[in-house]
Amino acid sequence: MSSADEQRRVGVESCGVPNVNRERGQRQVFCGLAGIVWLHRKIQDAFFLVVGSRTCAHLLQSAAGVMIFAEPRFATAILQERDLAGLADCNQELDRVVADVLERRSDIKTLFLVGSCPSEVIKLDLSKAAERLSETHQGRVRVLDYSASGLETTFTQGEDVCLMSLTPQLPLLAEGESSLLVVGTLPDVVEDQFARIFRDLGIGPVHFLPPRQSTELPPVGKGSRVLLAQPFLGETARALQKRGATLLDAPYPLGIEGTLGWLKAAADAWGVSEERLREVTAAPIARAERGLARQRELLAGKRITFLPDSQLEIPIARFLARECGMELVEVATPFLDRQLMESELQLLPSDLRLTEGQDVERQLDRVREDRPDLTVCGLGLANPLEAEGLRTKWSIELVFSPIHGFDQAADLAELFARPLVRGALLQV
């Protein structure tokens, strides 16, 4: 038995469902508009028009790192003082902006009207605007709406509400047919890797949501089996279930163990034998083990705390503890959806300090007392903690980076090894 196998075996013996501490207080959150950055790269014929303020526009431009020569497929229809005061007709101005966008961008097939904090404050009804604009531009473009307001959400939920807005548009899967629907934005290279593995296992047809082209929406119905690739898509999952789909219970495809468990859920649903699953996954698992070996040497024994930000905290903590040998000091997540996290919770130590929600001052006090080797947190907390001599990892980088699947397991581990290596060099 390899050292990694031994670590996983020992981990299983100490696992159970941890008790959950719930905190409510001041929160540090990043706006759901950030989801546009990865969604507009994935859905290649979609345009995201944010109805918001100049702050919204600056946030998007900063988060996306837009180059001067790039023509991104997102923009902000900026609400002026007259709009906020009710002195101007926002709908007329919105119609004009949409017409300008469609005139310039003939390649756009789906246009999302994205609500923000300012548009919600003035009660601008974007759902009616989407219906009106869909009729106006019928046959030219599909217009949908969703809210990415950061008032009560975390930034990854921007993807959840976007995909939920697509769910009513999905065509109906024919009676008697079955298919696998993988839900959650994945980089194209990772999506292609998973598609090859499913094909080799004899599982199919396989569809991905979101698709690369909004005109190629996957079907959904009673024969649909849904695998979530991201743990923050609860509303989308429930919307698909209302359309008859069955949600497969699985860990998330992060690291070797999570990816294998995720694939096994689909294999079991299709009646694929464990022997065939081992045969198909043997080579990528061997590659992943070799890649993880060096990172495990750097991470084993190091203590890590997760502050609540991305909703990726629980599956990534499971990976770091069970496959990299890290010690979990505290794992905090903005929201804990037990329906989506049941398989992951079973793989965590039963004595883990697991926290749902945030009281930022209390959590920072615990970080200062615990002095972990690494703290995973949002951008707003990273610099202050670094100034106090605590090494940090930006949680938003975990959403922007290819981290899913066997071949990305070592890259995922390296994201956490890198700040530790940098910190060691600074101390020399």
Residue 12 banded pLDDT, cuts 50, 70, 90: very low
Q: Are residues 293 and 391 in the same domain?
A: yes
Q: Are residues 259 and 306 in the same domain?
A: no
Q: Are residues 254 and 324 in the same domain?
A: no
Q: Are 283 and 215 spatial neighbours (Cβ–Cβ below 8 Å)?
A: no
For residue 210, say if its preceding peptide bond is cis, omega within 30 degrees of 0.
Answer: yes
Cα(101)–Cα(360) distance, integer angstroms: 41
Express each pLDDT in 347-404 by its tens digit: 999 899 999 998 899 999 999 999 999 999 988 899 899 999 999 999 888 988 999 9
**Domain encompassing residue 238:** 179-274
pLDDT on residue 6: 40
Per-residue pLDDT for 185 more than 80? Answer: yes
pLDDT on residue 149: 80
Mean pLDDT of 16-43: 82
Q: Are residues 245 and 208 in the same domain?
A: yes
Express each pLDDT in 238-249 by its tens digit: 999 999 999 999
Boundary-marking domain end, from 119, 153, 187? 153
Residue 262 banded pLDDT, cuts 50, 70, 90: very high
Q: Are residues 399 and 293 in the same domain?
A: yes
Residue 15 labeled ligand binder: no
Residue 368 in any domain: the answer is yes
Mean pLDDT of 284-307: 96
| Unique residue bearing structure tokens 């090894």 | 417
Q: Are residues 236 and 308 in the same domain?
A: no
pLDDT on residue 345: 94
Mean pLDDT of 54-76: 71
pLDDT on residue 57: 79
Mean pLDDT of 132-154: 87
pLDDT on residue 13: 39
Q: Are residues 293 and 322 in the same domain?
A: yes
Residue 280 in any domain: the answer is no
Copy the structure tokens of residue 341. 């996290």
Mean pLDDT of 245-266: 98
Which of 59-63, 110-114, 204-208 is least confident?
A: 59-63
Distance of CA 394 to the CA centre of its chain: 14
Express each pLDDT in 115-129 by its tens digit: 887 777 677 889 999
Residue 165 in any domain: the answer is no
Cα(97)–Cα(376) distance, integer angstroms: 40
pLDDT on residue 256: 98
Mean pLDDT of 45-68: 77
Which of 222-236, 280-294, 348-362 is least confident?
A: 348-362
Boundary-marking domain end, from 217, 243, 274? 274
Per-residue pLDDT for 406 more than 50? Answer: yes
Residue predicted with more confidence, 156 or 262: 262
For residue 205, say if its preceding peptide bond is cis, omega within 30 degrees of 0.
Answer: yes
Per-residue pLDDT for 46 more than 60? Answer: yes
pLDDT on residue 331: 97
Residue 166 in any domain: the answer is no
Q: Are residues 340 and 256 in the same domain?
A: no
Q: In what order do the strands lie in the sheet with 20-24?
A: 20-24, 354-358, 327-333, 303-306, 374-377, 392-394
Q: Are residues 398 and 312 in the same domain?
A: yes
Q: What percentage of the chain carries pLDDT values higher than 90?
A: 66
Q: Are residues 360 and 257 in the same domain?
A: no
Residue 147 in any domain: the answer is yes
Residue 170 in any domain: the answer is no
pLDDT on residue 67: 46
> What's the mean per-residue pLDDT of the chain?
88
Q: Are 37 and 60 spatial neighbours (Cβ–Cβ below 8 Å)?
A: yes
Residue 31 labeled ligand binder: yes
Nearest to 397 by CA among 37, 6, 89: 37
pLDDT on residue 428: 53
Residue 279 in any domain: the answer is no
Q: Are residues 327 and 415 in the same domain?
A: yes
Per-residue pLDDT for 230 more than 50? Answer: yes
Nearest to 228 by CA among 156, 177, 279, 299: 156
Residue 418 in any domain: the answer is yes
Q: Are residues 17 and 107 in the same domain?
A: no
pLDDT on residue 330: 96
Mean pLDDT of 16-41: 81
Q: What is the CATH number of the domain that holds 249?
A: 3.40.50.1980
Q: How many separate domains does the chain show?
A: 3
Residue predicted with more confidence, 131 or 54: 131
pLDDT on residue 237: 97
Cα(309)–Cα(325) distance, integer angstroms: 23
Q: What Å distances lie between residue 396 and 57, 63, 357, 384, CA to CA?
A: 19, 10, 17, 17
Nearest to 170 by CA among 250, 234, 74, 236: 236
pLDDT on residue 5: 42
Question: In terms of C-beta density within 10 A (0-12 exposed, 13-18 middle, 19 or more buried), how is residue 181 classed?
Answer: buried
